[in-house]
Structure 1
Amino acid sequence: MKEANNLNKKPSPTIWAVGGGKGGVGKSVISTLLGFWLSQMGKRTVLIDVDFGGANLHTMLGIKSPPKTINDYITKKYDHLEEICIETGIENLRLLSGASEILSLANLQFAQKVKIMQSISQLDA
């Protein structure tokens, strides 16, 4: 019976993190190119900009002002991260945008960070 339950269970997405302690070293460029490459390989890909103090990944994808951001999830306007994924116009590539204009996001509480991390593993990617 346990094996039958595992067959119905959706596998968790693979998560690749791109980070660094210094600005201007190319994290956004690398992330965008990696996301584009994976999407072109047919992988359902979600780029997530968790630079809550200075999110700019949306600009790399030609999105001037994201209609929904992670702030909308944190402030409970939406119940699931999936609801705030933005279509990029590139097949298999969506974006979860941070909110660069909201300074309070730069200092999230630990529980909020945990909630986001747990929700990421439930995305359809």
Structure 2
Amino acid sequence: MARLISSSAAVCFVLLIAMAMAPATATETAAAADRCEKDLDLLMGSCEGYLRFPAEAKAAPSRACCGAVRRVDVGCLCGMVTPEVEQYVCMDKAVYVAAYCHRPLLPGSYCGSYHVPGPVV
């Protein structure tokens, strides 16, 4: 019986901690989304001309663009790549720009629905 009570108490304790952390988690999630949005603004402000279609005309990005690429959270930005974004941003160029700026995307990974060329490492 004592073991049943202590198990119940442990479950209640874990639930209370989870409930107490929920507001902080929601706040942290909102802050992360805000940072990601700012990263997107920074990247598009500095690199937009290097990321648009057509895919054939790849140009070496500017210093400002590479500086932005080095500062942004690529994982967060890849999570924001929707089919609508892929109609505006040439993902082949995005991979090229990231590699040119010494911040290559992991071969075999995904950025939105775009599969980064190369084997899964």
Give the TM-score taking structure 2 as reference length: 0.25
Give the TM-score taking structure 1 as reference length: 0.25
Larger RCO: 1 or 2 (CA < 8 Å, sep 6+): 1
Write 1 or 2 for the structure with the bigger share of helix.
2
Q: Rg larger in 1 or in 2?
A: 2
Write 1 or 2 for the structure with the bigger share of strand.
1
